[in-house]
A and B are shown apart, each in its own frame.
Chain A
Amino acid sequence: MKLGHKTFSKLVTSIACTLTLVFSVNAVAQSGTFRARLSPMPTTPQTVTTITGEGEVILTLEGNTLKVTGDFVGMNSAATMAHVHNGPPAQPGPVVHQLEVTKMTGGEISAVLELTDEQVMALHNNELYIQVHSETNPPGELRGWVFARN
């Protein structure tokens, strides 16, 4: 891959950020508020009526502790599980944490999680997402990427 100078400077910036981040994680307690907007999972016209719902999750980071609180409504069937996954925006990835979820079509999502330094970094890089699974949509019904709240 040939690097254009813009890409290169992006790279330099991101290395710089990464270093800052690593040092700050170790030096001072990281804090910040994040949000995930939950919306129906990849839908096709055929599944518009069977993959439904919406929700919002607020995440607050203190050091490596991530407090997760959220709610959701209007799913097509009862929730079965909710997870934090690791993947860059719009690219599915593995589960990294379990969340508590109301086993109904609407309800609450909560957890207090200890993140690894890598996961804190992933959080800052928009590389975490939340997914809610349901009885009739085991692969997932609601999904939302976690972004810093502004």
Chain B
Amino acid sequence: MKIINKNTTRALFTSALVLLLAACNGESTVPADSVASVTFSSQAEEGATAFASNCAACHGASLEGTTLGPLLSGNSFLQRWGTQTPALLLNNIQANMPPGGNDGISDEDYTNIVAHMLSFNGVDTITEALTASTNFEIADNISQVVARRSRPEPEPPQGITVAGTVEKFTPITDAMLENPDPADWPMHRRNYYGHSYSPLSQINTDNVKGMTLAWVWNMYEGDSEPAPLVYGGIMYLINPGNVIQALDAATGELIWENWAGPANRQDMRNIAIYNDKIIQATTDARLIALDARTGEQIWETEVADASKGFSNSSGPIVADGKVILGLAGCARYIPEDCYISAHDANTGELEWRFNTIAKANEPGGDTWGELPDLFRAGGETWITGSYDPDLKLTYWGTAQQKPWVPVSRHLTIDDVGLFTNSTVAVSTDTGELDWFFQHVPAEALDLDEVFERILVNRGDDKLVFSLGKYGILWKNDRVSGEFQDYKETVFQNAFTDIDDKTGLVTYREDIQNAKLNEWTSACPSSAGGKDWHSMTYHPPTGTMIAPLSQTCLENAAREVALVQGGGGLAASRKFFEMPGTDGNLGKIGAYNVDTMEEVWSHQQRASFHTGTMSTGGNLVFVGDLDRRFKAFDVTTGEIVWETRLGTSVQGHPVSFAVDGKQYIAVTAALGGTSPRAVPGVILTEIKYPRSGNAVYVFALPD
């Protein structure tokens, strides 16, 4: 059955009428889109209504942004979309927005919404109605912007905005990164193995209840999920909009600040330090080295072309003298695909690239059916990997194929699409693939396996652990890649079988065969059993402690045409509480890495929005949507301390010491994509301020 909705019917009727009228006038060749009655402003007017009911809940009635979605107006909009065309914007929105379900929004509605967004942002020099192929440059049609170009204007801050010098700075060496000083947190997950574990034990299960706030520092507003770096008593803090600050880690005193641009409100999860440099990826896919002492820029290079949609949301790891980082924004049908790249730490020069999507003539290239290279998309590496200095291998997770559902990508469940949704072990010397293990082949529900890889040694076993959106904790041998074991950490009903010997998963039959516009229901949802919030490995007890989330989704694939520049994600979605959880979205699960048994778990209504961080004091820290920051006893799972912050606690807690005194730091933050948007529609009773990004630092009283 073909459903023609009201709007389509109306559009068909209107164009039929116009053709008829045109024929009466004796003009038989008037194209339908030159209809006199539909103008840019009439579209914008209709679009305002459509925006209000479909987009405003997340982007604000005045496009000002909310905690659920970024602002779509002002400078931020201009920077992102000013040099693009209405057709590209339409394409982007149609493919991706709203993130949860859009049945009932017609093509005409979408076009009208774009007209409204443009009009709201000051587009005023056009009258002709927009079509799917309108290709003027947006900023060229905003008379205010055009006028501004001819006169000087205050630019957003750029470069050093606060000058200062870190005294007594000792350059950090490879050896120091391999074996960090217990006082430091010198990379995103503290060590190369990705443990998010600090050996410091001054604050412990006995005395943590006396812990109080030492200092707090407000950060710039925007989407934020940061992990601060701490080295030599200095905290290097990445703020939204690509701003880095150096703060005295004991007092919270600002030393220097640098704006690398673009000055948007976008998110960057982590930065790196190497030698005397702070190394940062930017949201527009550049890589920059700053002098760690002063914040002055030393070198800059392009990772990928941001005008083609490429971006970074996570920063690099520096391994073996190379700056290694991933790439995001790879859902579009263009010749370029995603890669992991390595740059010389002293110059920024490119050393190698590893492409995550196999082209037809390459190894693994026959796993994409007959799909031409142009239409092979996905495989983002949007979470930073880890490193084994002995094996000289860097371990990364890759995201799934795009669009989300096999039928949308013109493939079947047998077209597994290498090297998506895998662990890849890549040589740091050459960038060559050493081995891969595909956790969920031909992924079909937007549940990727891209997150952190945690390296663990148990006796002679060298292992790598990962936990993706399906909530399955995977144990693989990290020398060979061989599957060892798995554990389901939350309820999942996507797979009917997980092979004990090989780890091969079998999807439920209705998921395997999902057709366009048919609803399939599955757990967990795309907010993930686990998402970007990294888990911690606690070496003294051999426990992996993971922040988990319990929601489910209904998913319906949409059609995606195979056209250059198209692509996207293409599914409508609905979210709901996971059955059997009693409405508890948040779960912390602790797993013995030898037996893979659950040692303890804690469940609560509010979802968790930070990574977990464990310490030598036998504590594990985590924060939630309801503004609570909590410490658990690693052994028992008992809550031994908690406090309440200004807004939702989000990011990655860290611990460090200055002059022998231990501190615990965590950020309160907003944004955070689906792990916030999904609970946002379910946990409607939890209220938190829509501003308040900050870093909070705690310690025992003197």
Q: Is the CB of B579 within 8 A of A147?
A: yes
Q: Which of A1-56 contact B (CB under 8 A)?
A: 1-7, 37, 39-46, 48, 52
Q: Is the CB of B681 within 8 A of A44?
A: yes
Q: Is the CB of A89 within 8 A of B574?
A: no
Q: A4 and B582 in contact (CB under 8 A), knowing A42-B575, A45-B100, A46-B57?
A: no
Q: Which of B499-523 contact A (CB under 8 A)?
A: 499-501, 504, 506, 521-523
Chain B min CB distance to A24 (Å): 23
The complex places the Cα of A91 from the Cα of B521 at a distance, in Å, of: 6
Identity of the chain B residue whose Cβ is nearest the Cβ of A89 in the assembled complex? B579
Q: A126 and B579 in contact (CB under 8 A), knowing A45-B57, A89-B491, A90-B522?
A: yes
> Is A129 interfacial (CB-CB < 8 Å)?
yes
Q: Is the CB of B577 within 8 A of A39?
A: yes
Chain A min CB distance to B22 (Å): 38
Q: Is the CB of B576 within 8 A of A43?
A: yes
Chain B min CB distance to A116 (Å): 22
The complex places the Cα of A143 from the Cα of B101 at a distance, in Å, of: 19
Q: Is the CB of B576 within 8 A of A45?
A: no
The complex places the Cα of A80 from the Cα of B320 at a distance, in Å, of: 66
Type the 1/0 row for B575-608, where 1 means its CB is closer than 8 Å to any CB of A. 1111110110000000000000000000000000
Q: Is the CB of B684 within 8 A of A42?
A: no
Chain A residue numbers with a CB within 8 Å of B580 are 89, 126, 145, 147
Identity of the chain A residue whose Cβ is nearest the Cβ of B53 in the assembled complex? A46
The complex places the Cα of A45 from the Cα of B684 at a distance, in Å, of: 10
Partner of B576, one of A2, A39, A88: A39
Q: Is the CB of A3 within 8 A of B497?
A: yes
The complex places the Cα of A147 from the Cα of B579 at a distance, in Å, of: 9
Partner of A40, one of B58, B501, B522, B576: B576
The complex places the Cα of A92 from the Cα of B491 at a distance, in Å, of: 16
Give the interface size bracket for B toward A. 35 or more
> Is B28 interfacial (CB-CB < 8 Å)?
no
Q: Is the CB of A41 within 8 A of B57?
A: no
> Is B552 interfacial (CB-CB < 8 Å)?
yes
Chain A min CB distance to B54 (Å): 6
Partner of B682, one of A5, A43, A92: A43
Q: Is the CB of A45 within 8 A of B500?
A: no
Chain A residue numbers with a CB within 8 Å of B552 are 90
Q: Is the CB of B493 within 8 A of A90?
A: yes
Q: Which of A126-142 contact B (CB under 8 A)?
A: 126, 129
Q: Is the CB of A44 within 8 A of B98?
A: yes
Chain B residue numbers with a CB within 8 Å of A39 are 576-577, 583, 682
Q: Which of B671-687 contact A (CB under 8 A)?
A: 677, 680-682, 684
Chain B residue numbers with a CB within 8 Å of A48 are 57, 681, 684
Type the 1/0 row for B547-582, where 1 means its CB is closer than 8 Å to any CB of A. 000001110000000000000000001111111101
Chain A residue numbers with a CB within 8 Å of B582 are 37
Q: Is the CB of B54 within 8 A of A46?
A: yes
The complex places the Cα of A92 from the Cα of B111 at a distance, in Å, of: 34
Q: A129 and B579 in contact (CB under 8 A), knowing A45-B681, A48-B684?
A: yes
Chain B min CB distance to A131 (Å): 12
> Is B68 interfacial (CB-CB < 8 Å)?
yes
Q: A44 and B500 in contact (CB under 8 A), knowing A37-B582, A92-B521?
A: no
Chain B residue numbers with a CB within 8 Å of A4 are 497-501
The complex places the Cα of A144 from the Cα of B576 at a distance, in Å, of: 10
The complex places the Cα of A6 from the Cα of B486 at a distance, in Å, of: 11
Chain B residue numbers with a CB within 8 Å of A37 are 577, 582-583
Identity of the chain A residue whose Cβ is nearest the Cβ of B578 in the assembled complex? A90
Q: Is the CB of B575 within 8 A of A90?
A: no
Identity of the chain A residue whose Cβ is nearest the Cβ of B104 in the assembled complex? A46
The complex places the Cα of A91 from the Cα of B100 at a distance, in Å, of: 18
Chain A residue numbers with a CB within 8 Å of B100 are 44-45
The complex places the Cα of A44 from the Cα of B572 at a distance, in Å, of: 10
Q: Is the CB of B491 within 8 A of A7?
A: no
Q: Which of A87-131 contact B (CB under 8 A)?
A: 88-92, 126, 129
The complex places the Cα of A91 from the Cα of B576 at a distance, in Å, of: 12
Chain B min CB distance to A111 (Å): 21
Identity of the chain B residue whose Cβ is nearest the Cβ of A148 in the assembled complex? B580
Partner of B574, one of A5, A6, A44, A52: A44
Q: Is the CB of B574 within 8 A of A145?
A: no
Q: Is the CB of A45 within 8 A of B491?
A: no
Chain B residue numbers with a CB within 8 Å of A90 are 491, 493, 521-523, 552, 576, 578-579
The complex places the Cα of A139 from the Cα of B684 at a distance, in Å, of: 21
The complex places the Cα of A91 from the Cα of B553 at a distance, in Å, of: 10
Chain A min CB distance to B18 (Å): 32
Chain B min CB distance to A59 (Å): 15
Identity of the chain A residue whose Cβ is nearest the Cβ of B98 in the assembled complex? A45
The complex places the Cα of A14 from the Cα of B677 at a distance, in Å, of: 37
Identity of the chain B residue whose Cβ is nearest the Cβ of A43 in the assembled complex? B681
Q: A5 and B500 in contact (CB under 8 A), knowing A39-B577, A145-B580?
A: yes
Q: Which of B79-101 contact A (CB under 8 A)?
A: 98-101
Chain A residue numbers with a CB within 8 Å of B575 are 42-44
The complex places the Cα of A3 from the Cα of B502 at a distance, in Å, of: 11
Chain A residue numbers with a CB within 8 Å of B504 are 2
Q: Is the CB of B493 within 8 A of A46?
A: no
Q: Which of A51-94 contact B (CB under 8 A)?
A: 52, 88-92
Q: A46 and B523 in contact (CB under 8 A), knowing A90-B578, A126-B580?
A: no
The complex places the Cα of A81 from the Cα of B574 at a distance, in Å, of: 22
Q: Is the CB of B681 within 8 A of A89?
A: no
Q: A45 and B577 in contact (CB under 8 A), knowing A3-B497, A4-B500, A90-B521?
A: no
Chain B residue numbers with a CB within 8 Å of A1 are 496-497, 506
Chain A residue numbers with a CB within 8 Å of B53 are 46
Identity of the chain B residue whose Cβ is nearest the Cβ of A143 in the assembled complex? B576
Identity of the chain B residue whose Cβ is nearest the Cβ of A147 in the assembled complex? B580
The complex places the Cα of A147 from the Cα of B553 at a distance, in Å, of: 20
The complex places the Cα of A44 from the Cα of B491 at a distance, in Å, of: 22
Chain B residue numbers with a CB within 8 Å of A92 are 521
The complex places the Cα of A95 from the Cα of B553 at a distance, in Å, of: 21
From A37, A91, A144, residue with most partner B Cβ within 10 Å: A91
Chain A min CB distance to B100 (Å): 4
Chain A min CB distance to B477 (Å): 18
The complex places the Cα of A98 from the Cα of B498 at a distance, in Å, of: 37
The complex places the Cα of A4 from the Cα of B500 at a distance, in Å, of: 5
Type the 1/0 row for B132-169, where 1 means its CB is closer than 8 Å to any CB of A. 00000000000000000000000000000000000000
From A2, A5, A43, A52, residue with most partner B Cβ within 10 Å: A43
Chain B residue numbers with a CB within 8 Å of A42 are 521, 553-554, 574-576
Q: Is the CB of B579 within 8 A of A45?
A: no
From A5, A39, A42, A92, residue with most partner B Cβ within 10 Å: A42
Q: Is the CB of B579 within 8 A of A6?
A: no
Chain A residue numbers with a CB within 8 Å of B54 are 46
Chain B min CB distance to A74 (Å): 10
The complex places the Cα of A126 from the Cα of B57 at a distance, in Å, of: 35
Chain B residue numbers with a CB within 8 Å of A89 are 491, 493, 523, 578-580
The complex places the Cα of A39 from the Cα of B574 at a distance, in Å, of: 14
Chain A residue numbers with a CB within 8 Å of B553 are 42
Known: A45-B677, A90-B523; 8 extra A-B contacts, CB below 8 A, are A4-B501, A7-B499, A44-B101, A45-B100, A48-B57, A48-B684, A91-B522, A129-B579
Q: 8 nearest interchain CB pairs? A: A4-B500, A42-B574, A145-B579, A89-B579, A44-B101, A44-B100, A90-B552, A42-B576
A selection of 10 A-B contacts at a CB cut-off of 8 Å is A4-B498, A4-B499, A4-B501, A5-B500, A6-B500, A42-B554, A45-B100, A48-B681, A89-B493, A143-B576
